[in-house]
Structure 1
Amino acid sequence: MNKNKADRVQEDLEKWLKREQRFQKIFSRPLADNRSFLKEKLKYYDTIKSKYGNVATREESATLRLMKEDRGAIERQLYPNAIVRLAFRITLKIRNEINSQKEQRQNQANLQELRSVVHRLGLPENAFSERHLRQERDIPPFTYQVGENEQMTFNWDLSQEQDGAYKFNGYTATLNIEGEPQRTQRFPLDGTDEITARQAYNLLSGRSVHIGTERDRHWVKLDLNDKDRDGNHKVKRFYANYNYSLKDQLAKIPINSLTNSGQMKMVEGALRNGDRIKIQLTGGEFLSIEANPQHRSIDCYREGRKIPFSQVTKARSKRNKKHRVHGRLGKGTQGIYQKRVIR
């Protein structure tokens, strides 16, 4: 939807001129004498005036003034009688007012629909404002600070339908990290594999995200070292048959204070969203972890430095070994309270 700076009024008038030239080839009678055609031309001029009248640039305003003079000449040609012309203008004003109110209602509904998409992406409503519906170029990107040295920028990809309504086709997310090359990726909004703003940040940070419908849930990860012809990072996908179980890998880590299934689900949910989260081990040590489906593991970090997963899981193995006692089972109810008899 973004365009280079140009006279939009002139562009629309040139579209009408091409249409006029096509009609002239079809019909033998000069269009300048065709009342039906001239009425259509007046409507087209009024549409352009309504479309750009309040948002026109200086150059576009000059084109609108010239168009107004031509419109006046056509109106006098159609209605040479001053009284008839006045009646036409009054009728036109009433009709324009009705159409304007209808257009405002449609624009508000369209704006609310677009804002709901923005909200679904996890961005605030002010990330998309009413002025975006009035501008066909130079739509300002939405930028916010993620961390002390990290910034995310979103550029919208919008198109206008035949009925005049706008729709989101997708967005381009850019991650700027101080001292590192810029990372950019376009994420389509076509109803499949919809990526939220948070997930876009995580993907551009090099982490994996679990997406898709219930039947097609899978992990995705951007290859930050390889791009396609459009400049987007190639996407790696890991489906169910790749046999990566986040739950099984989490069970290998001696995480402290996960007393119920609800807390574990919160941890799993954050990791599936691509977040790097902080956990506390049973020994009191704090680590940061993130999902790594490609290597069927979990990446662990101590104070920002990556450490081997085996080093973290070894703590649980030692703990289990410590509580393992050789001997036979004594009498009593089978289960957790049954004591062992030491020989």
Structure 2
Amino acid sequence: MTIKENIQELQDRLKYSGFGETLNKELEKQIKAKKSDFVLDMSKDLGEKKLDYGLNFRKSDEGRYYYNGFDAKLSTPEGKEQSQRFYQNQGISAKEALNLLEGRAVYKSMFNKEGERYNAWLQLDLGSRDEKGQHPVTQYHQNYGFKLEGAVKELPLKDLKSPDQIDLLLYSLKKGNRHQVEIEGNDGKFLLEANPRFKTINMYDGQGKRMKYSVLKAAKNQVSHEAKKDTQLKTKSKGVKM
């Protein structure tokens, strides 16, 4: 592999991982300087919060450079910090790192020691650290029993009539995002997030207040009941002869 090919490969990797192309020139500069290893720094302002990344690269004995993952640190105006090192083989993107550091779970496809692929939700234990200063990663395996699509369909959500709309919502939740939705019979916007640990969906109102899942399910039942009642009334009215 030529240096040019190596640089292009790594630039593609960064773009795929959600870091865009802003580091491309510095990446090329560091490789051409033939350093044994180096770190590329990048920061993002997230309203009042700030997220700092440190992307790690190392040169092999054969002279090829590899991307080894990145360190991420989330800072709040109150001075609180959460940090974690994400390795290349974990496949965590820049946005997924943010979601993990904010306590949400992401859904990933991985390989076990036997090389077999499996799917699992990953979530950081932000309340503890191991001997390396890392937050332990909890996995909720695909056999754990959390059915995201089923949990979503139990909620009285508006504008989710087509399969494409449902797929977009599920994709966003699997990335660990808080996804904005509208609720039947309610004004304003609401936010959903996956909660695999308790096999449910968390929902927040416009002020960030947690809403009870049971109340939302009851709201859907009420909407379904009223729709059924309305259909029955229309059917009866069509059968009345004047």
Same fold (TM over 0.5): yes
For the residue of structure 2 that corresponds to 1:178, the secondary structure is coil
Counterpart of 1:125 in structure 2: which amino acid?
A: E
Cα 1:231–1:241 change in 2 (3 A) is same
Counterpart of 1:166 in structure 2 is 65
Structure 1 distance, partners of 2:38, 2:165, is 45
Structure 1 distance, partners of 2:236, 2:176, is 42
**1:182 offset after TM fit, Å?**
1.1
Structure 2 distance, partners of 1:245, 1:207, is 16
Q: How is 1:157-306 mapped onto 2 (pairs within 5 angstroms)? A: 157-190=56-89, 193-213=90-110, 215-285=117-187, 286-302=189-205, 303-306=207-210
Match for 2:15 among 88, 100, 119?
Answer: 119
Answer yes or no: is 1:131 the counterpart of 2:29: yes
Cα 1:323–1:257 change in 2 (3 A) is closer
Counterpart of 1:315 in structure 2 is 219
Q: Specify which structure has the higher proportion of helix.
A: 1
Counterpart of 1:165 in structure 2: which amino acid?
A: R
Structure 2 distance, partners of 1:111, 1:338, is 71
Cα 1:140–1:216 change in 2 (3 A) is closer
Structure 2 distance, partners of 1:215, 1:168, is 22
Structure 2 distance, partners of 1:180, 1:256, is 38
Cα 1:258–1:318 change in 2 (3 A) is same
Asked whether the equivalents of residues 276 and 289 of structure 1 are also in contact (C-alpha less than 8 Å), the reply is yes
Asked whether the equivalents of residues 290 and 300 of structure 1 are also in contact (C-alpha less than 8 Å), the reply is yes
**1:157 offset after TM fit, Å?**
2.0
Q: Specify which structure has the higher proportion of strand.
A: 2
Listed as ranges, the gaps of 5+ residues in structure 2 are 111-115
For the residue of structure 1 that corresponds to 2:80, the secondary structure is coil
Bigger radius of gyration, 1 or 2? 1
For the residue of structure 1 that corresponds to 2:127, the secondary structure is strand
Cα 1:124–1:315 change in 2 (3 A) is same
Asked whether the equivalents of residues 173 and 184 of structure 1 are also in contact (C-alpha less than 8 Å), the reply is yes
Listed as ranges, the gaps of 5+ residues in structure 1 are 1-104, 330-336
Counterpart of 2:113 in structure 1 is none
Q: Percent identity?
A: 24
**1:305 offset after TM fit, Å?**
1.1
Counterpart of 2:48 in structure 1 is 149
Counterpart of 2:143 in structure 1: which amino acid?
A: N
For the residue of structure 2 that corresponds to 1:216, the secondary structure is strand
For the residue of structure 2 that corresponds to 1:187, the secondary structure is strand
Asked whether the equivalents of residues 132 and 139 of structure 1 are also in contact (C-alpha less than 8 Å), the reply is no
Q: Which structure carries more relative contact order (alpha carbon 8 Å, separation 6+)?
A: 2
Cα 1:162–1:137 change in 2 (3 A) is closer
Structure 1 distance, partners of 2:203, 2:76, is 21
For the residue of structure 2 that corresponds to 1:266, the secondary structure is helix
Asked whether the equivalents of residues 36 and 59 of structure 2 are also in contact (C-alpha less than 8 Å), the reply is no
- Give CA deviations for 1:187-230 in whole Å, capped at 9, x if unaligned: 1113xx31111111110111010001594111010010011111
Output the TM-score relative to the length of structure 2.
0.84
- Give CA deviations for 1:221-264 in whole Å, capped at 9, x if unaligned: 00100111111111110012211001111011111111201100
Structure 2 distance, partners of 1:207, 1:116, is 27
Structure 1 distance, partners of 2:131, 2:142, is 29
Counterpart of 1:18 in structure 2 is none
Structure 1 distance, partners of 2:59, 2:117, is 33
Structure 2 distance, partners of 1:297, 1:140, is 38
For the residue of structure 2 that corresponds to 1:212, the secondary structure is strand
Cα 1:243–1:140 change in 2 (3 A) is closer
Counterpart of 1:132 in structure 2: which amino acid?
A: Q
Counterpart of 1:168 in structure 2: which amino acid?
A: Y
For the residue of structure 1 that corresponds to 2:136, the secondary structure is strand
**1:291 offset after TM fit, Å?**
0.4
